[in-house]
A and B are shown apart, each in its own frame.
Chain A
Amino acid sequence: MVIDILMPALSPTMEEGALARWLVAPGDRVRPGDILAEIETDKAVMEVEAVDEGVIETLVTPAGSSGVKVNAVIARLRTDERSGVSAGASAPAAPIRSAPSHPPETAPSSPRPSPPRAAEPIAASVVAGDPAQNRAVRRVTVRDALRDALAEEMRRDPRVFLMGEEVGQYQGAYKVSRGLLEEFGDKRVIDTPITEYGFAGLGVGAAFAGLRPVVEFMTFNFAMQAIDHIINSAAKTRYMSGGQMSCPIVFRGPNGAASRVGAQHSQDFSAWYGHVPGLKVVAPYDAADAKGLLKAAIRDPNPVVFLEHELLYGLEFDVPEGEDVLEPIGKARIRREGRDVTLTAHSRMVRFALEAAERLEQEGISAEVIDLRSLRPLDMDTIVASVAKTSRLVCCEEGWRPFGVGAEIVARVVEEAFDWLDAPPLRVTQKDVPLPYAANLEALSLPGTNDIVTAVRALLHRGDGA
Chain B
Amino acid sequence: MTSSSQDDAAPTSSQTAPPAGPTPPRPKRRRAEPGRAALLAMYREMLLIRRFEEKAGQLYGMGLIAGFCHLYIGQEAVVVGVQSVLEPQDQVITGYRDHGHMLAAGMNARGVMAELTGRSGGYSRGKGGSMHMFSQEKNFYGGHGIVGAQAPIGAGLAFANRYLGTDAVSLTYFGDGASNQGQVYEAFNMASLWKLPVVFVIENNQYAMGTSVARASAETELYKRGLSFEIPGAEVDGMDVLAVRRAAGRAVDRARAGEGPFILEMKTYRYRGHSMSDPAKYRSREEVAEMRDRHDPIDMLKRRLLERGEASEEDLRRIETDVKEIVNDSAEFAQTCPEPDPSELWTDVLAEI
Instruction: Answer whether residue B280 sits at the interface, using C-beta atoms and an 8 A cutoff.
Output: no
Complex-state Cα separation, A203 to B149, whole angstroms: 12
- Please judge, given known A-B contacts A205-B155, A229-B152, A244-B134, whether A238 and B141 are in contact too, CB under 8 Å: no
A198 to B127, Cβ gap below 8 A?
no
B190 to A210, Cβ gap below 8 A?
no
Partner of A209, one of B18, B122, B132, B160: B160
Mask: chain B, 144-186; 1 = CB below 8 Å from A; 0 = not: 1110010111111111110110000010000000000011011
Complex-state Cα separation, A195 to B191, whole angstroms: 13
Give every chain B residue within 8 A of A241 (Cβ-Cβ). 123-124, 127-128, 132-134, 142, 348
B190 to A209, Cβ gap below 8 A?
no
Which A167-208 residues have C-beta < 8 A from chain B? 185-187, 190, 192-193, 195, 197-208
Instruction: Answer whether residue B351 sits at the interface, using C-beta atoms and an 8 A cutoff.
Output: yes
- Please judge, given known A-B contacts A211-B160, A244-B124, whether A186 and B349 are in contact too, CB under 8 Å: no
Number of residues in B with C-beta < 8 Å to the partner?
A: 51
Q: Which residue of B lies closest to A196 (CB)?
A: B186
Give every chain A residue within 8 A of B163 (Cβ-Cβ). 161, 187, 206, 211
Instruction: Answer whether residue A242 sits at the interface, using C-beta atoms and an 8 A cutoff.
Output: yes
A22 to chain B, nearest CB (A): 40
B349 to A277, Cβ gap below 8 A?
yes
Instruction: Answer whether residue A89 sits at the interface, using C-beta atoms and an 8 A cutoff.
Output: no
Mask: chain B, 26-70; 1 = CB below 8 Å from A; 0 = not: 000000000000000000000000000000000000000000000
A202 to B152, Cβ gap below 8 A?
yes
Complex-state Cα separation, A244 to B123, whole angstroms: 9
A201 to B183, Cβ gap below 8 A?
yes
Partner of B153, one of A185, A187, A201: A201
A167 to chain B, nearest CB (A): 14
B160 to A233, Cβ gap below 8 A?
no
Complex-state Cα separation, A278 to B351, whole angstroms: 9
B197 to chain A, nearest CB (A): 12
Instruction: Answer whether residue A366 sits at the interface, using C-beta atoms and an 8 A cutoff.
Output: no
Complex-state Cα separation, A229 to B187, whole angstroms: 13
Instruction: Answer whether residue B193 sits at the interface, using C-beta atoms and an 8 A cutoff.
Output: yes
Instruction: Answer whether residue A300 sits at the interface, using C-beta atoms and an 8 A cutoff.
Output: yes
Instruction: Answer whether residue B5 sits at the interface, using C-beta atoms and an 8 A cutoff.
Output: no
Q: Which residue of B lies closest to A238 (CB)?
A: B348
- Please judge, given known A-B contacts A161-B163, A202-B159, A240-B124, whether A208 and B189 are in contact too, CB under 8 Å: no
A7 to chain B, nearest CB (A): 41
Complex-state Cα separation, A211 to B18, whole angstroms: 17
- Please judge, given known A-B contacts A186-B18, A232-B145, A300-B353, whether A210 and B124 are in contact too, CB under 8 Å: no
- The contact size tier of chain A is 35 or more
Instruction: Answer whether residue A245 sits at the interface, using C-beta atoms and an 8 A cutoff.
Output: yes
A410 to chain B, nearest CB (A): 24
Instruction: Answer whether residue B125 sits at the interface, using C-beta atoms and an 8 A cutoff.
Output: yes
B156 to A206, Cβ gap below 8 A?
yes
Which A242-262 residues have C-beta < 8 A from chain B? 242-246, 248
Q: Which residue of B lies closest to A192 (CB)?
A: B190
B156 to chain A, nearest CB (A): 2
A227 to chain B, nearest CB (A): 11
Instruction: Answer whether residue A301 sits at the interface, using C-beta atoms and an 8 A cutoff.
Output: yes
Give every chain B residue within 8 A of A209 (Cβ-Cβ). 91, 141, 156-157, 159-161, 164
Partner of A206, one of B144, B145, B151, B157: B157
Q: Which residue of B lies closest to A239 (CB)?
A: B348
B188 to chain A, nearest CB (A): 9
Instruction: Answer whether residue B1 sits at the interface, using C-beta atoms and an 8 A cutoff.
Output: no
A141 to chain B, nearest CB (A): 29
- Please judge, given known A-B contacts A202-B155, A229-B149, whether A238 and B350 are in contact too, CB under 8 Å: yes
A208 to B156, Cβ gap below 8 A?
yes
B149 to A232, Cβ gap below 8 A?
yes
Select the residue from B127, B157, B163, B170 with max chain A CB neighbours within 10 A: B163
Instruction: Answer whether residue B88 sits at the interface, using C-beta atoms and an 8 A cutoff.
Output: no
Select the residue from B142, B143, B156, B351 with max chain A CB neighbours within 10 A: B156
Partner of A195, one of B125, B142, B161, B186: B186
Give every chain A residue within 8 A of B155 (Cβ-Cβ). 198, 201-202, 205
B152 to A245, Cβ gap below 8 A?
no
Instruction: Answer whether residue A237 sits at the interface, using C-beta atoms and an 8 A cutoff.
Output: yes
A198 to B152, Cβ gap below 8 A?
yes
Instruction: Answer whether residue A321 sits at the interface, using C-beta atoms and an 8 A cutoff.
Output: no
B7 to chain A, nearest CB (A): 24
- Please judge, given known A-B contacts A238-B351, A242-B123, A242-B124, whether A187 and B19 are in contact too, CB under 8 Å: yes
Instruction: Answer whether residue A427 sits at the interface, using C-beta atoms and an 8 A cutoff.
Output: no
B152 to A185, Cβ gap below 8 A?
no
B353 to A301, Cβ gap below 8 A?
yes
A195 to B153, Cβ gap below 8 A?
no
B183 to A278, Cβ gap below 8 A?
no
Give every chain B residue within 8 A of A245 (Cβ-Cβ). 134, 136, 141-142
Complex-state Cα separation, A161 to B124, whole angstroms: 29
Instruction: Answer whether residue B347 sits at the interface, using C-beta atoms and an 8 A cutoff.
Output: yes
B353 to A233, Cβ gap below 8 A?
no
Instruction: Answer whether residue B135 sits at the interface, using C-beta atoms and an 8 A cutoff.
Output: yes
Complex-state Cα separation, A34 to B125, whole angstroms: 70
Give every chain B residue within 8 A of A207 (Cβ-Cβ). 156
Give every chain A residue within 8 A of B158 (Cβ-Cβ). 205
Instruction: Answer whether residue A430 sits at the interface, using C-beta atoms and an 8 A cutoff.
Output: no
A187 to B18, Cβ gap below 8 A?
yes
Q: Which residue of B lies closest to A377 (CB)?
A: B350
B153 to A208, Cβ gap below 8 A?
yes
Partner of A197, one of B125, B142, B183: B183
Complex-state Cα separation, A127 to B187, whole angstroms: 46
Complex-state Cα separation, A400 to B163, whole angstroms: 41
A158 to chain B, nearest CB (A): 9
B189 to A244, Cβ gap below 8 A?
no
Give every chain B residue within 8 A of A278 (Cβ-Cβ). 349-350
Give every chain B residue within 8 A of A206 (Cβ-Cβ). 156-157, 159-160, 163
Instruction: Answer whether residue A344 sits at the interface, using C-beta atoms and an 8 A cutoff.
Output: no
Q: Which residue of A lies closest to B163 (CB)?
A: A211
Instruction: Answer whether residue A373 sits at the interface, using C-beta atoms and an 8 A cutoff.
Output: no
Give every chain B residue within 8 A of A244 (Cβ-Cβ). 123-124, 134-136
Known interface pairs A208-B156, A241-B134, A242-B123; 13 further A-B residue pairs with C-beta atoms within 8 A, sorted by A's residue number: A185-B19, A186-B19, A201-B156, A202-B152, A202-B153, A205-B152, A205-B157, A206-B160, A211-B159, A211-B160, A233-B144, A302-B350, A302-B351
